[in-house]
Chain A
Amino acid sequence: MRRLVALVVVFTMVPMSAAWATDLDELLERGQSATYSAEQVISCSTPDGVRDAVVNIDQAGGELRVTSSFADDVEVSSGAGAWSLSRHGGLVEEMVIDAGNSNSELLYTVEDLGTVQFLGREAMAFRLLRGDELRAELILDDETGALVMVTTFEADGEVYCERRFISLDTEPPALAEKFSTAQGTSPSPVEESGLALEVAGFERLDHYEDEEGVRFTYYSDGFFSFAVFETPTEVSIPDPTEVVFDSGSYERSFTAGQVMFVWETRDGGMALVGDLPPDLHETVLADMPHPQDPGLFRRFWRALFG
Protein backbone atom coordinates (compact mmCIF):
# COMPACT_ATOMS: atom_id res chain seq x y z
CA MET A 1 0.00 0.00 0.00
CA ARG A 2 2.82 2.38 0.90
CA ARG A 3 4.42 1.69 -2.47
CA LEU A 4 1.16 2.52 -4.23
CA VAL A 5 0.84 5.83 -2.39
CA ALA A 6 4.41 6.74 -3.31
CA LEU A 7 3.67 5.94 -6.92
CA VAL A 8 0.61 8.18 -6.91
CA VAL A 9 2.62 11.04 -5.45
CA VAL A 10 5.26 10.63 -8.14
CA PHE A 11 2.65 10.84 -10.84
CA THR A 12 0.74 13.77 -9.41
CA MET A 13 3.73 15.90 -8.34
CA VAL A 14 4.84 16.81 -11.81
CA PRO A 15 7.84 19.16 -11.84
CA MET A 16 7.28 21.90 -14.35
CA SER A 17 9.89 22.64 -16.93
CA ALA A 18 8.71 24.54 -19.98
CA ALA A 19 5.02 24.23 -19.19
CA TRP A 20 2.67 23.57 -16.32
CA ALA A 21 1.39 20.08 -15.64
CA THR A 22 -0.67 18.83 -18.56
CA ASP A 23 -4.17 19.20 -17.11
CA LEU A 24 -3.44 22.60 -15.64
CA ASP A 25 -1.74 23.70 -18.83
CA GLU A 26 -4.72 22.74 -20.93
CA LEU A 27 -7.15 24.46 -18.60
CA LEU A 28 -5.10 27.66 -18.48
CA GLU A 29 -4.90 27.72 -22.25
CA ARG A 30 -8.65 27.18 -22.47
CA GLY A 31 -9.17 29.92 -19.89
CA GLN A 32 -7.19 32.46 -21.95
CA SER A 33 -9.56 32.19 -24.88
CA ALA A 34 -12.72 31.72 -22.80
CA THR A 35 -15.60 34.15 -22.87
CA TYR A 36 -17.38 34.85 -19.61
CA SER A 37 -18.52 37.38 -17.05
CA ALA A 38 -17.93 36.97 -13.36
CA GLU A 39 -18.00 38.74 -10.06
CA GLN A 40 -14.81 38.32 -8.07
CA VAL A 41 -14.15 38.95 -4.37
CA ILE A 42 -10.55 39.73 -3.46
CA SER A 43 -9.50 39.57 0.16
CA CYS A 44 -5.92 39.89 1.36
CA SER A 45 -4.56 39.71 4.92
CA THR A 46 -1.64 42.09 4.89
CA PRO A 47 0.62 43.30 7.71
CA ASP A 48 -1.24 46.63 7.43
CA GLY A 49 -4.70 45.07 7.73
CA VAL A 50 -7.24 43.42 5.46
CA ARG A 51 -7.57 44.74 1.90
CA ASP A 52 -10.82 43.83 0.14
CA ALA A 53 -12.32 44.51 -3.24
CA VAL A 54 -15.28 43.25 -5.23
CA VAL A 55 -14.88 43.56 -8.97
CA ASN A 56 -16.75 42.52 -12.07
CA ILE A 57 -14.69 40.70 -14.68
CA ASP A 58 -15.63 40.41 -18.34
CA GLN A 59 -13.37 38.38 -20.60
CA ALA A 60 -13.59 38.01 -24.36
CA GLY A 61 -10.97 37.69 -27.06
CA GLY A 62 -8.11 37.46 -24.59
CA GLU A 63 -9.01 40.78 -23.01
CA LEU A 64 -10.04 41.20 -19.38
CA ARG A 65 -12.15 44.13 -18.36
CA VAL A 66 -12.48 44.89 -14.66
CA THR A 67 -15.05 47.24 -13.22
CA SER A 68 -15.86 48.16 -9.66
CA SER A 69 -19.01 46.75 -8.16
CA PHE A 70 -19.36 49.94 -6.15
CA ALA A 71 -18.34 52.60 -8.66
CA ASP A 72 -19.78 52.15 -12.12
CA ASP A 73 -17.63 54.94 -13.49
CA VAL A 74 -14.28 53.16 -12.99
CA GLU A 75 -13.02 50.55 -15.44
CA VAL A 76 -9.72 48.75 -15.96
CA SER A 77 -8.97 46.90 -19.18
CA SER A 78 -6.07 44.51 -19.47
CA GLY A 79 -4.84 42.25 -22.23
CA ALA A 80 -2.09 41.53 -24.75
CA GLY A 81 0.33 44.05 -23.31
CA ALA A 82 -2.18 46.84 -22.83
CA TRP A 83 -3.72 48.29 -19.69
CA SER A 84 -6.00 51.25 -19.19
CA LEU A 85 -7.87 52.94 -16.38
CA SER A 86 -10.98 54.95 -17.23
CA ARG A 87 -13.29 57.12 -15.17
CA HIS A 88 -16.65 58.38 -16.39
CA GLY A 89 -15.80 56.89 -19.78
CA GLY A 90 -12.69 59.08 -20.05
CA LEU A 91 -9.19 57.67 -20.10
CA VAL A 92 -7.14 58.31 -16.94
CA GLU A 93 -4.12 56.11 -17.58
CA GLU A 94 -3.17 53.90 -20.46
CA MET A 95 -0.10 51.85 -21.25
CA VAL A 96 0.83 49.64 -24.17
CA ILE A 97 3.86 47.37 -24.12
CA ASP A 98 4.98 45.82 -27.35
CA ALA A 99 7.39 43.14 -26.28
CA GLY A 100 8.20 40.89 -23.39
CA ASN A 101 9.87 37.63 -22.53
CA SER A 102 7.26 35.30 -21.12
CA ASN A 103 9.47 32.27 -20.71
CA SER A 104 10.66 32.34 -17.16
CA GLU A 105 12.12 29.29 -15.52
CA LEU A 106 9.29 27.89 -13.47
CA LEU A 107 10.07 27.12 -9.88
CA TYR A 108 6.87 25.36 -9.01
CA THR A 109 5.66 21.84 -8.69
CA VAL A 110 2.01 21.13 -9.47
CA GLU A 111 -0.07 18.83 -7.34
CA ASP A 112 -3.31 17.69 -8.95
CA LEU A 113 -6.08 17.58 -6.33
CA GLY A 114 -8.71 16.22 -8.69
CA THR A 115 -12.27 17.23 -9.43
CA VAL A 116 -14.27 19.53 -7.18
CA GLN A 117 -17.57 21.40 -7.40
CA PHE A 118 -17.44 25.20 -7.54
CA LEU A 119 -20.47 27.43 -8.08
CA GLY A 120 -22.37 24.23 -8.86
CA ARG A 121 -20.06 23.42 -11.75
CA GLU A 122 -17.35 20.86 -12.39
CA ALA A 123 -13.93 22.24 -11.60
CA MET A 124 -10.34 21.06 -11.17
CA ALA A 125 -8.17 21.86 -8.16
CA PHE A 126 -4.39 22.19 -8.10
CA ARG A 127 -1.69 23.16 -5.66
CA LEU A 128 1.51 24.99 -6.54
CA LEU A 129 4.52 24.27 -4.38
CA ARG A 130 7.78 26.17 -4.46
CA GLY A 131 10.23 23.73 -2.96
CA ASP A 132 8.43 22.36 0.09
CA GLU A 133 6.29 25.45 0.54
CA LEU A 134 2.66 25.54 -0.51
CA ARG A 135 2.31 28.85 -2.36
CA ALA A 136 -1.02 28.66 -4.16
CA GLU A 137 -4.19 26.67 -4.59
CA LEU A 138 -6.04 27.05 -7.86
CA ILE A 139 -9.53 26.01 -8.88
CA LEU A 140 -10.34 26.17 -12.58
CA ASP A 141 -13.76 25.79 -14.12
CA ASP A 142 -13.69 22.63 -16.21
CA GLU A 143 -15.79 23.93 -19.12
CA THR A 144 -14.27 27.39 -19.59
CA GLY A 145 -10.87 27.02 -17.93
CA ALA A 146 -11.64 30.20 -15.98
CA LEU A 147 -9.58 30.57 -12.84
CA VAL A 148 -12.51 30.72 -10.44
CA MET A 149 -10.53 30.68 -7.22
CA VAL A 150 -6.93 31.42 -6.31
CA THR A 151 -5.55 31.29 -2.80
CA THR A 152 -1.97 32.39 -2.21
CA PHE A 153 0.02 31.54 0.89
CA GLU A 154 2.92 32.88 2.86
CA ALA A 155 5.86 30.58 3.56
CA ASP A 156 4.43 29.57 6.95
CA GLY A 157 1.18 28.39 5.36
CA GLU A 158 -0.90 31.42 6.35
CA VAL A 159 -3.31 32.61 3.68
CA TYR A 160 -2.18 35.87 2.07
CA CYS A 161 -4.80 36.52 -0.61
CA GLU A 162 -7.94 34.87 -1.86
CA ARG A 163 -9.59 35.71 -5.16
CA ARG A 164 -12.92 33.95 -5.50
CA PHE A 165 -15.58 34.11 -8.18
CA ILE A 166 -19.00 34.45 -6.60
CA SER A 167 -20.79 34.25 -9.93
CA LEU A 168 -19.89 32.98 -13.39
CA ASP A 169 -21.86 33.60 -16.56
CA THR A 170 -20.63 32.09 -19.82
CA GLU A 171 -22.74 34.38 -22.01
CA PRO A 172 -20.52 36.68 -24.13
CA PRO A 173 -20.07 40.04 -22.39
CA ALA A 174 -20.41 43.25 -24.34
CA LEU A 175 -16.93 44.76 -24.56
CA ALA A 176 -17.19 48.09 -26.24
CA GLU A 177 -13.73 48.71 -27.65
CA LYS A 178 -10.57 46.78 -28.28
CA PHE A 179 -7.06 47.78 -27.42
CA SER A 180 -6.15 48.01 -31.09
CA THR A 181 -7.27 51.63 -30.87
CA ALA A 182 -5.21 52.35 -27.77
CA GLN A 183 -2.83 55.30 -27.95
CA GLY A 184 -1.02 54.82 -24.67
CA THR A 185 2.61 55.41 -23.87
CA SER A 186 4.85 52.66 -25.17
CA PRO A 187 8.02 52.21 -23.16
CA SER A 188 10.74 50.63 -25.23
CA PRO A 189 12.46 47.40 -24.26
CA VAL A 190 16.14 47.99 -23.56
CA GLU A 191 18.93 45.55 -22.88
CA GLU A 192 20.87 47.28 -20.14
CA SER A 193 19.80 47.10 -16.52
CA GLY A 194 21.82 47.58 -13.40
CA LEU A 195 19.45 45.35 -11.45
CA ALA A 196 20.19 41.75 -10.57
CA LEU A 197 19.41 38.99 -13.08
CA GLU A 198 17.94 36.82 -10.36
CA VAL A 199 16.40 37.89 -7.07
CA ALA A 200 15.20 35.38 -4.48
CA GLY A 201 14.31 32.92 -7.23
CA PHE A 202 12.69 35.59 -9.41
CA GLU A 203 14.13 35.90 -12.88
CA ARG A 204 14.62 39.27 -14.53
CA LEU A 205 12.61 38.94 -17.72
CA ASP A 206 12.79 42.32 -19.36
CA HIS A 207 13.59 45.96 -18.90
CA TYR A 208 11.92 49.08 -20.33
CA GLU A 209 12.56 52.79 -20.48
CA ASP A 210 10.19 55.56 -21.54
CA GLU A 211 10.79 59.07 -22.88
CA GLU A 212 10.59 60.59 -19.41
CA GLY A 213 13.45 58.46 -18.18
CA VAL A 214 11.30 56.12 -16.08
CA ARG A 215 12.79 52.63 -16.25
CA PHE A 216 11.13 49.47 -15.09
CA THR A 217 12.31 45.93 -14.82
CA TYR A 218 10.00 42.95 -14.66
CA TYR A 219 10.68 39.85 -12.56
CA SER A 220 8.72 36.61 -12.34
CA ASP A 221 9.11 33.20 -10.80
CA GLY A 222 6.42 31.76 -13.08
CA PHE A 223 3.54 32.61 -10.75
CA PHE A 224 4.25 35.67 -8.60
CA SER A 225 5.73 38.69 -10.30
CA PHE A 226 6.82 42.23 -9.60
CA ALA A 227 8.16 45.28 -11.39
CA VAL A 228 10.89 47.55 -10.10
CA PHE A 229 10.75 51.18 -11.19
CA GLU A 230 13.64 53.62 -11.30
CA THR A 231 12.41 57.20 -11.69
CA PRO A 232 14.13 60.59 -11.83
CA THR A 233 11.77 61.84 -9.13
CA GLU A 234 10.23 60.36 -6.04
CA VAL A 235 7.15 58.13 -6.19
CA SER A 236 4.03 58.85 -4.17
CA ILE A 237 1.75 56.09 -2.89
CA PRO A 238 -1.55 56.33 -1.03
CA ASP A 239 -1.64 55.88 2.75
CA PRO A 240 1.94 54.69 3.14
CA THR A 241 3.21 52.80 6.16
CA GLU A 242 6.86 53.10 7.04
CA VAL A 243 8.68 49.78 7.34
CA VAL A 244 12.30 49.20 8.26
CA PHE A 245 14.29 46.21 7.05
CA ASP A 246 18.01 45.56 7.38
CA SER A 247 18.50 47.20 3.99
CA GLY A 248 16.83 50.45 5.10
CA SER A 249 13.57 52.30 5.51
CA TYR A 250 10.72 52.05 2.97
CA GLU A 251 7.17 53.31 2.49
CA ARG A 252 4.68 50.52 1.85
CA SER A 253 1.07 50.39 0.75
CA PHE A 254 -1.23 47.48 -0.02
CA THR A 255 -4.27 47.28 -2.24
CA ALA A 256 -6.28 44.10 -2.73
CA GLY A 257 -3.74 41.75 -4.30
CA GLN A 258 -0.96 44.23 -4.82
CA VAL A 259 1.87 45.58 -2.71
CA MET A 260 3.83 48.74 -3.37
CA PHE A 261 7.11 49.86 -1.84
CA VAL A 262 8.76 53.20 -2.54
CA TRP A 263 12.12 54.54 -1.47
CA GLU A 264 14.80 56.96 -2.58
CA THR A 265 18.40 56.52 -3.58
CA ARG A 266 21.11 59.00 -4.56
CA ASP A 267 20.01 58.53 -8.18
CA GLY A 268 16.28 59.19 -7.73
CA GLY A 269 13.10 57.41 -6.71
CA MET A 270 12.47 53.68 -6.73
CA ALA A 271 9.32 51.62 -6.43
CA LEU A 272 8.37 47.99 -6.37
CA VAL A 273 4.88 46.91 -7.43
CA GLY A 274 3.81 43.29 -7.42
CA ASP A 275 1.77 40.47 -5.95
CA LEU A 276 4.48 39.11 -3.66
CA PRO A 277 3.40 37.57 -0.36
CA PRO A 278 4.78 39.50 2.63
CA ASP A 279 7.38 36.88 3.58
CA LEU A 280 9.23 37.58 0.31
CA HIS A 281 9.33 41.36 0.64
CA GLU A 282 12.48 41.76 2.70
CA THR A 283 14.42 39.15 0.72
CA VAL A 284 13.58 40.76 -2.59
CA LEU A 285 14.23 44.33 -1.43
CA ALA A 286 17.60 43.32 0.02
CA ASP A 287 18.79 42.60 -3.52
CA MET A 288 17.65 45.96 -4.87
CA PRO A 289 19.51 49.28 -4.50
CA HIS A 290 19.17 50.22 -0.85
CA PRO A 291 17.47 53.39 0.41
CA GLN A 292 19.77 56.39 0.61
CA ASP A 293 19.08 59.97 1.48
CA PRO A 294 19.03 61.92 -1.80
CA GLY A 295 20.96 64.78 -0.25
CA LEU A 296 20.10 68.39 0.34
CA PHE A 297 21.27 69.62 -3.04
CA ARG A 298 19.03 67.15 -4.86
CA ARG A 299 16.05 68.16 -2.75
CA PHE A 300 16.65 71.82 -3.57
CA TRP A 301 17.01 70.99 -7.22
CA ARG A 302 13.75 69.03 -7.27
CA ALA A 303 11.91 71.73 -5.36
CA LEU A 304 13.02 74.32 -7.85
CA PHE A 305 12.91 72.43 -11.13
CA GLY A 306 10.96 69.23 -10.48
Chain B
Amino acid sequence: MIHPSEMISAYLDGELSWSEHSQLVDHLERCGRCTAELEQVQRVRAAVRSLPVLELPEGIVPEADPVVVPLRRQKGLWAGVAAAIAVIVVAIAALVGPDPGSVSIDELSSRFGARVSLDPAFGPAKVVVPPAVIDG
Protein backbone atom coordinates (compact mmCIF):
# COMPACT_ATOMS: atom_id res chain seq x y z
CA MET B 1 0.00 0.00 0.00
CA ILE B 2 1.34 3.46 -0.90
CA HIS B 3 0.62 6.16 1.68
CA PRO B 4 0.07 9.58 0.06
CA SER B 5 1.54 11.55 2.97
CA GLU B 6 2.45 14.46 0.72
CA MET B 7 -1.20 14.93 -0.20
CA ILE B 8 -2.35 15.41 3.39
CA SER B 9 -1.08 18.97 3.78
CA ALA B 10 -2.45 19.90 0.36
CA TYR B 11 -5.77 18.34 1.38
CA LEU B 12 -5.94 20.49 4.51
CA ASP B 13 -5.03 23.57 2.48
CA GLY B 14 -7.76 22.81 -0.03
CA GLU B 15 -5.24 22.54 -2.83
CA LEU B 16 -6.17 19.10 -4.18
CA SER B 17 -7.94 18.61 -7.45
CA TRP B 18 -11.30 16.86 -7.38
CA SER B 19 -9.82 13.52 -8.45
CA GLU B 20 -6.96 13.78 -5.95
CA HIS B 21 -9.44 14.69 -3.25
CA SER B 22 -11.58 11.62 -3.99
CA GLN B 23 -8.52 9.41 -4.16
CA LEU B 24 -7.26 10.58 -0.79
CA VAL B 25 -10.66 10.32 0.91
CA ASP B 26 -10.99 6.74 -0.37
CA HIS B 27 -7.53 5.94 0.95
CA LEU B 28 -8.23 7.50 4.35
CA GLU B 29 -11.31 5.29 4.76
CA ARG B 30 -9.10 2.23 4.45
CA CYS B 31 -5.85 3.35 6.06
CA GLY B 32 -5.55 3.89 9.77
CA ARG B 33 -1.98 5.14 9.48
CA CYS B 34 -2.84 7.99 7.11
CA THR B 35 -5.96 8.85 9.11
CA ALA B 36 -3.79 9.13 12.22
CA GLU B 37 -1.27 11.23 10.30
CA LEU B 38 -4.04 13.54 9.11
CA GLU B 39 -5.31 13.94 12.67
CA GLN B 40 -1.83 14.72 13.91
CA VAL B 41 -1.19 17.34 11.27
CA GLN B 42 -4.55 18.88 12.13
CA ARG B 43 -3.63 18.91 15.82
CA VAL B 44 -0.26 20.55 15.12
CA ARG B 45 -1.87 23.21 12.98
CA ALA B 46 -4.46 23.86 15.65
CA ALA B 47 -1.70 24.12 18.27
CA VAL B 48 0.27 26.59 16.17
CA ARG B 49 -2.86 28.64 15.50
CA SER B 50 -3.61 28.75 19.21
CA LEU B 51 -0.29 30.45 19.95
CA PRO B 52 -0.92 33.95 21.35
CA VAL B 53 -0.81 36.78 18.85
CA LEU B 54 2.00 39.09 19.82
CA GLU B 55 1.00 42.72 19.81
CA LEU B 56 3.35 45.62 20.19
CA PRO B 57 2.72 47.16 23.63
CA GLU B 58 1.37 50.68 23.53
CA GLY B 59 3.88 53.42 24.11
CA ILE B 60 6.92 51.33 23.39
CA VAL B 61 7.65 53.33 20.24
CA PRO B 62 5.21 56.27 20.65
CA GLU B 63 6.54 58.59 18.00
CA ALA B 64 7.67 56.07 15.41
CA ASP B 65 6.18 55.65 12.02
CA PRO B 66 5.01 52.01 11.90
CA VAL B 67 6.23 51.67 8.32
CA VAL B 68 9.81 52.55 9.12
CA VAL B 69 10.16 51.20 12.64
CA PRO B 70 13.43 49.22 12.88
CA LEU B 71 11.84 46.11 14.34
CA ARG B 72 15.15 44.46 15.14
CA ARG B 73 15.44 46.87 18.03
CA GLN B 74 12.25 45.54 19.65
CA LYS B 75 13.80 42.72 21.67
CA GLY B 76 10.55 41.72 23.35
CA LEU B 77 8.81 41.31 20.03
CA TRP B 78 11.65 39.36 18.52
CA ALA B 79 11.91 37.11 21.54
CA GLY B 80 8.24 36.25 21.07
CA VAL B 81 8.68 35.62 17.38
CA ALA B 82 11.75 33.46 18.09
CA ALA B 83 9.79 31.46 20.64
CA ALA B 84 6.97 30.89 18.17
CA ILE B 85 9.44 29.80 15.50
CA ALA B 86 11.12 27.45 17.98
CA VAL B 87 7.76 25.86 18.79
CA ILE B 88 7.04 25.37 15.10
CA VAL B 89 10.51 23.91 14.43
CA VAL B 90 10.12 21.47 17.33
CA ALA B 91 6.68 20.49 16.10
CA ILE B 92 8.01 19.81 12.61
CA ALA B 93 11.03 17.96 14.00
CA ALA B 94 8.77 15.80 16.13
CA LEU B 95 6.67 14.85 13.15
CA VAL B 96 9.22 14.37 10.41
CA GLY B 97 12.64 14.28 12.01
CA PRO B 98 14.59 11.18 13.00
CA ASP B 99 14.09 9.84 16.48
CA PRO B 100 17.19 10.93 18.41
CA GLY B 101 17.10 7.90 20.66
CA SER B 102 16.44 5.16 18.13
CA VAL B 103 18.04 1.74 18.57
CA SER B 104 20.22 0.50 15.71
CA ILE B 105 19.96 -2.87 14.09
CA ASP B 106 23.56 -3.66 15.09
CA GLU B 107 22.51 -3.55 18.74
CA LEU B 108 19.65 -5.93 18.08
CA SER B 109 21.82 -8.25 15.98
CA SER B 110 24.33 -8.45 18.80
CA ARG B 111 21.68 -9.54 21.29
CA PHE B 112 20.11 -12.05 18.92
CA GLY B 113 23.53 -13.37 17.86
CA ALA B 114 24.64 -13.84 21.45
CA ARG B 115 21.47 -15.68 22.37
CA VAL B 116 21.57 -17.87 19.26
CA SER B 117 25.12 -18.91 20.13
CA LEU B 118 23.75 -20.55 23.27
CA ASP B 119 21.96 -22.99 20.96
CA PRO B 120 25.10 -24.11 19.17
CA ALA B 121 23.80 -27.25 17.47
CA PHE B 122 23.40 -25.59 14.10
CA GLY B 123 26.39 -23.23 14.31
CA PRO B 124 27.11 -22.34 10.69
CA ALA B 125 23.40 -22.29 9.88
CA LYS B 126 22.52 -19.91 12.67
CA VAL B 127 25.38 -17.47 12.85
CA VAL B 128 24.03 -13.96 12.54
CA VAL B 129 25.58 -12.03 9.69
CA PRO B 130 24.91 -8.32 10.19
CA PRO B 131 24.55 -5.80 7.34
CA ALA B 132 28.02 -4.48 8.15
CA VAL B 133 29.59 -7.74 6.96
CA ILE B 134 27.40 -8.06 3.91
CA ASP B 135 27.79 -4.48 2.75
CA GLY B 136 31.51 -4.63 3.25
Chain A residues within 8 Å of B, Cβ to Cβ: 20, 28, 31-32, 38, 40, 42, 51-53, 55, 57, 59, 62, 64, 66-68, 70-71, 74, 76, 78-85, 87, 92-97, 100, 102, 138, 146-148, 150, 163, 165, 184, 187, 206, 208, 214, 216, 218, 220, 223, 225-227, 229, 231-238, 242, 244, 248-249, 253, 255-258, 260, 269, 271, 273-275, 293, 296, 299-300, 302-304, 306
For residue B105, which residues in chain A have a CB less than 8 angstroms away from its CB? 235-238, 253, 260, 273
Cβ-based interface call for B110 (8 A): yes
Cβ-based interface call for B127 (8 A): yes
> Are B1 and A100 neighbours in the complex by a CB distance under 8 Å?
no
Cα A294 to Cα B135 with chains together (Å):
32
Q: Could you give 20 example pairs across A and B, Cβ below 8 Å? A: A64-B123, A71-B135, A76-B129, A76-B130, A78-B113, A78-B114, A81-B114, A83-B113, A85-B106, A85-B133, A97-B114, A100-B118, A208-B111, A233-B101, A233-B103, A236-B99, A244-B1, A249-B33, A255-B130, A257-B129
> Are A82 and B117 neighbours in the complex by a CB distance under 8 Å?
yes
Cα A225 to Cα B109 with chains together (Å):
13
> Are A256 and B134 neighbours in the complex by a CB distance under 8 Å?
yes
Also in contact, A97 and B128, with CB within 8 A (given A71-B133, A293-B33): no
> Are A66 and B129 neighbours in the complex by a CB distance under 8 Å?
yes
For residue B32, which residues in chain A have a CB less than 8 angstroms away from its CB? 248, 293
> Are B94 and A300 neighbours in the complex by a CB distance under 8 Å?
yes
For residue A70, which residues in chain B have a CB less than 8 angstroms away from its CB? 136
**Binary A-proximity of B77-95 (CB < 8 A = 1, otherwise 0):** 0000000000000110111
Also in contact, A231 and B103, with CB within 8 A (given A79-B120, A95-B113): yes
For residue A244, which residues in chain B have a CB less than 8 angstroms away from its CB? 1
Specify the chain A residue showing the minimal Cβ separation from B97.
A303
> Are B129 and A218 neighbours in the complex by a CB distance under 8 Å?
no
**Binary A-proximity of B1-30 (CB < 8 A = 1, otherwise 0):** 101000000000000000000000000000
Task: List the count of A-B residue pairs having beta carbons below 8 Å apart.
Answer: 222
For residue A79, which residues in chain B have a CB less than 8 angstroms away from its CB? 117, 120
Cα A302 to Cα B132 with chains together (Å):
27
> Are A100 and B115 neighbours in the complex by a CB distance under 8 Å?
yes
For residue A249, which residues in chain B have a CB less than 8 angstroms away from its CB? 1, 33
> Are A83 and B101 neighbours in the complex by a CB distance under 8 Å?
no
Could you tell me how many residues of chain B have their Cβ less than 8 Å away from some Cβ of chain A? 53
For residue A92, which residues in chain B have a CB less than 8 angstroms away from its CB? 106, 132
Q: Which of A53, A150, A235, A299 contacts B125 (CB 8 A)?
A: A150
For residue A293, which residues in chain B have a CB less than 8 angstroms away from its CB? 32-33, 36, 40
Specify the chain A residue showing the minimal Cβ separation from B47.
A296
> Are A147 and B122 neighbours in the complex by a CB distance under 8 Å?
yes
Cβ-based interface call for B54 (8 A): no
Also in contact, A255 and B129, with CB within 8 A (given A83-B117, A147-B123, A227-B115): yes
The 4 A-B pairs with the shortest beta carbon distances in the complex, nearest first, are: A306-B101, A83-B113, A71-B136, A303-B94
For residue B101, which residues in chain A have a CB less than 8 angstroms away from its CB? 232-233, 302, 306
For residue A71, which residues in chain B have a CB less than 8 angstroms away from its CB? 133, 135-136
Specify the chain A residue showing the minimal Cβ separation from B120.
A32
Cβ-based interface call for B119 (8 A): yes
